[in-house]
């Protein structure tokens, strides 16, 4: 309730209307839907303040590859979603198609009962995937995670627009957004905390992400035990190695 009160204005009128309709359909107060919308922010805020409660850690991984890195130059995006709630997500998988007024149609890749998602794609060819990070640079006030992703998908048409949308306003916590512009055949990872950010671009036609920051300025905010970071670094390194081994032969069948 406290997070909802502090950040309700950041939702905007359209999002508040959507959440009120969701709540009405399920027969509970609209304030409850708004609170559920901010659960990811609360989780990552608390993790940044005290990492000790997390076991096991989230382990999302992703890569973008195209051109000489793939067979026939095709653009490939691969991602796993490894987060708390194993078994629940699997039983409630959903594609949720949205047609915002005055915006771009898009599709959440998410689950029934969740008011938004950290991953999806829009009619302009943008793809977004979310990766947990855990910095101590957090705030109880800022743009909620799902609102950032929603605005990218509903309002942005290019990679530069999407990157700017992440960094234009302070956030509540730390994550990374993996953004692909499939029409421009380009990608970026914006790793951010409440007040700071890093932007990474492809090298040799590939881009890989796990759950740690890459640049020294962002690494200074990172919290978490050594095994958690070693796991993330190891996943990112191994995916990069496999992309190198399969360079020029990678296709959709090998992406998983």
pLDDT tens, the chain, 256 aa long:
999 999 999 999 999 999 999 999 989 999 999 999 999 999 889 888 876 555 556 689 999 999 999 999 999 999 988 877 777 888 888 999 999 999 999 999 888 877 788 899 999 999 999 999 989 999 999 999 999 999 999 999 999 999 999 999 999 999 999 999 999 999 999 999 999 999 999 999 999 999 999 999 999 999 877 888 899 999 999 999 999 999 999 999 999 8
Q: What is the DSSP string of 145-202?
A: HHHHHHHHHHH--SHHHHHHHHHSS-BSS-EEEEEEETTTTEEEEEEE-SS-EEEE--
The confidence score (pLDDT) of residue 54 equals 52
Give pLDDT, residue 67.
Answer: 96
Angle in degrees, CA 177, 180, 184, rounded to 5: 150
Helix (H) or strand (E) holding 8: helix 2-26
Contacts (Cβ under 8 Å, ≥6 apart) of 17: none
What would the DSSP string read from start to end of 229-249?
Answer: HHHHHHHHHHHHHHHHHTTTT
Rg for the chain, CA atoms, rounded? 18
Q: Which residues pair with 120 in a beta bridge?
A: 108, 128
Angle made by CA atoms 94, 109, 229, in degrees to the nearest 5: 125
- Please give the pLDDT value at position 244: 96
Look at residue 55 in the predicted model and tell me its pLDDT.
52
Residue 70 is classified by DSSP as B
- Phi-psi sector, 87: left (phi>0), alpha (psi -120 to 50), beta: left
How high is the pLDDT of residue 56?
56
What's the CA gap between 194 and 143, in Å, rounded? 9
Find out whether the peptide bond into 56 is cis, omega within 30 degrees of 0. yes
**Structure tokens that stand for 26 in this block:** 């399920």
């Amino acid at each position: 309730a406290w997070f909802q009160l502090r950040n309700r204005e950041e939702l905007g009128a359209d999002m508040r209307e959507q959440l009120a309709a969701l709540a009405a359909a399920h027969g509970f107060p609209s304030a409850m839907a708004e609170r559920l919308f901010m659960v990811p922010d609360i989780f990552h805020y608390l993790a940044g303040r005290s990492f000790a409660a997390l076991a096991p850690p989230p382990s999302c991984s992703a890569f973008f590859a195209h051109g000489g890195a793939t067979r026939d130059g095709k653009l490939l995006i691969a991602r796993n979603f490894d987060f708390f709630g194993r078994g629940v997500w699997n039983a409630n998988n959903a594609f949720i198609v949205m047609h915002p007024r005055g915006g771009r149609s898009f599709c959440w890749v998410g689950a029934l009962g969740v008011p938004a998602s950290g991953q999806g794609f829009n009619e302009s060819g943008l793809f977004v995937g979310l990766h947990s990070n855990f910095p101590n640079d957090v705030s109880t006030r800022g743009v909620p995670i799902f609102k950032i992703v929603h605005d990218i998908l509903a309002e942005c048409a290019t990679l530069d627009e999407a990157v700017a949308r992440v960094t234009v306003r302070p956030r509540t916590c730390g994550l990374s957004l993996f953004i692909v512009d499939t029409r421009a055949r380009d990608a970026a990872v914006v790793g951010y905390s409440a007040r700071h950010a890093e932007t990474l671009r492809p090298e040799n036609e590939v881009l890989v992400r796990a759950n740690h920051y890459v640049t020294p300025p962002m690494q200074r905010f990172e919290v978490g035990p050594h095994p958690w970071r070693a796991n993330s670094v190891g996943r990112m390194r191994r995916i990069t190695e496999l992309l190198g081994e399969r360079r020029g032969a990678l296709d959709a069948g090998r992406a998983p």
